Amino acid sequence: MNTPMEKLVKLHDKSFRLYKSESEILSAVRNVAGQINDDYIGKRPLLVPVLNGSFLFAADLLKELKLDCELSFIKVVSYHGTSSNGSPNMLIGLNQNIEGRHIIIIEDIVDTGNTLARILPELRAQNPASIKVATLLFKPLALKADVPVDYIGMEIPNDFIVGYGLDYDGLGRNLRDVYQVVPE
């Protein structure tokens, strides 16, 4: 008897197998949007997606929001200064005043939480009215930093995934489904 062909993609040197279909992802996105719609009635949140990985999640999430909302992308970039001390990366892109605003950070995936741990203090220092975090994917077993994750699309195991905005060394962001690495 033939078994159905597994949906595999090859990116660089690794193979990935289908893990979450586009329809499962979009239903998780609608679920997060529904919670935000309920929680921000009468408010005008500023959504702050973290580039690059979150661009598709941000786009689909925004289409499901029924509230007045604004959007401002940020990026955490590594830089190599001349001094070895100091912060290894910096936050760019947030060039508007967030004092008194309701901020929702939009992440593609929270893994160790280090990215959020870098972003949150810098935003908190600007006195927003509130900050919450929405992530499409969350790896609870990988979390190291003490960061809040308020809205979660899906919890996943500690395996490397690609697709729906997430890349493996630059490739795979355009895949509509999410794929999990096949161990060698």
The SS3 of residue 85 is coil
Residue 167 partner contact from Mg ion, ligand 5GP, none using kind-dependent CB cut-offs of 5 to 8 Å = ligand 5GP
Residue 160 partner contact from Mg ion, ligand 5GP, none using kind-dependent CB cut-offs of 5 to 8 Å = ligand 5GP
Please pick, from the candidates 48, 69, 108, 163, the single residue that binds Mg ion as defined by CB under 5 A: 108
Contacts of 167 (CB under 8 A, 6+ apart): 52, 53, 173
Residue whose beta carbon is closest to Mg ion: 53
Residue 53 as a binder of Mg ion (CB under 5 A): the answer is: yes
- 140 φ/ψ angles, rounded to the nearest 5 degrees: -60, -30
Judge if the upstream peptide bond of residue 52 is cis by omega within 30 degrees of 0.
Answer: yes
Torsion, CA 93, CA 95, CA 96, CA 102, rounded to 10: 30
Rounded to the nearest whole angstrom, what is the least distance from the CB of residue 99 to Mg ion in the complex? 25
Contacts (CB under 6 A) with ligand 5GP, residues 107-136: 107-115
Instruction: Work out the number of other CB atoms within 10 angstroms of the CB of residue 79.
Output: 10
Which token pair is 184? 């060698």
Q: Count how many Cα atoms sit within 13 Å of the Cα of residue 120 in the half-sphere of its side chain.
A: 16
Q: Which of 60, 108, 111, 177 is catalytic?
A: 111
Binding-site string for ligand 5GP from residue 71 to residue 110, where x marks contact by CB under 6 A and - marks none: ------------------------------------xxxx
The SS3 of residue 35 is helix
Residue 112 partner contact from ligand 5GP, Mg ion, none using kind-dependent CB cut-offs of 5 to 8 Å = ligand 5GP
Known active-site residue 111: yes
> Which residues sit at the interface with ligand 5GP, rule CB under 6 A?
53, 107-115, 160-162, 166-168
Active-site amino acid positions: 111
